[in-house]
Amino acid sequence: MPITPATATHSSSNGTAEAILLELVDEDGTTIGTAEKLSAHQPPGQLHRAFSVFLFDERGRLLLQQRALGKYHSPGVWSNTCCGHPYPGESPFAAAARRTYEELGVSPSLLGEAGTVRYNHPDPDSGLVEQEYNHLFVGMVQAPVRPDPEEVGSTAFVSADELARRHAKEPFSSWFMTVLDAARPAVRELTGPSAGW
């Protein structure tokens, strides 16, 4: 993968990590500025651009990831295949493909836009707030995943029925059902009616 401003390691000339910046947006998704990642998530939260990826195998099962325990936001909970934030000036599609590879070691064999959703989800455990304008992507994965243990604790492919059972008894991210419900029309188009999404 070529090194670009979006894929380069963010470190300063003295070797310390630079602040990660997010794109702040208005209610229409128009960029209005930037903010440091953690500060954008402090209550009441600043509306910023994000993305969520839902990848499926050839049997129509959704690839879930369990967030690594070391993550400062929503550690240890299950969530969609991949989610994150574009760097300022990076397209949501490029960010979605980049982070899927960085977190799961796999590139989607197919990835398409599935709309946007705007939400405000406080996380009672961390005290942080997800105030996001989220770009949704749906696609296929055909290669074995190779998760980065710093990002991902575990992965699982689940059918719609298996997801319902898991969601009833295991912790999921506060935003998971909001983004899944918003992506469902594109998910159904991709997986077909027999998959039950």
Q: What is the pLDDT of residues 117-148, one digit of tens each?
A: 999 999 887 888 999 999 999 999 999 999 99
| Cβ neighbour number for residue 193 with a 10 Å cutoff | 8
Q: How confident is the model at residue 4 (pLDDT cuts 50, 70, 90)?
A: very low
pLDDT > 80? residue 33: yes
Q: Tell me the mean pLDDT in the region 166-180.
A: 95
Looking at every residue in the chain, the average pLDDT score rounds to: 90
Query: Side-chain half-sphere of 132: how many Cα atoms within 13 Å?
Result: 27
pTM of the entire predicted model: 0.89
- Give bridge partners of residue 192 from the DSSP assignment: none
pLDDT > 60? residue 181: yes
Q: How confident is the model at residue 1 (pLDDT cuts 50, 70, 90)?
A: very low
Q: What is the C-alpha separation between 29 and 187, in angstroms, rounded?
A: 23
State residue 15's pLDDT score: 45
For the annotated catalytic residues, the residue numbers are 83, 132
111 phi, psi to nearest 5 deg = -150, 125
Q: Is 191 exposed, middle or buried (0-12, 13-18, 19+ CB in 10 A)?
A: buried
Asked whether 158 and 74 are in contact (CB, 8 A), the reply is no
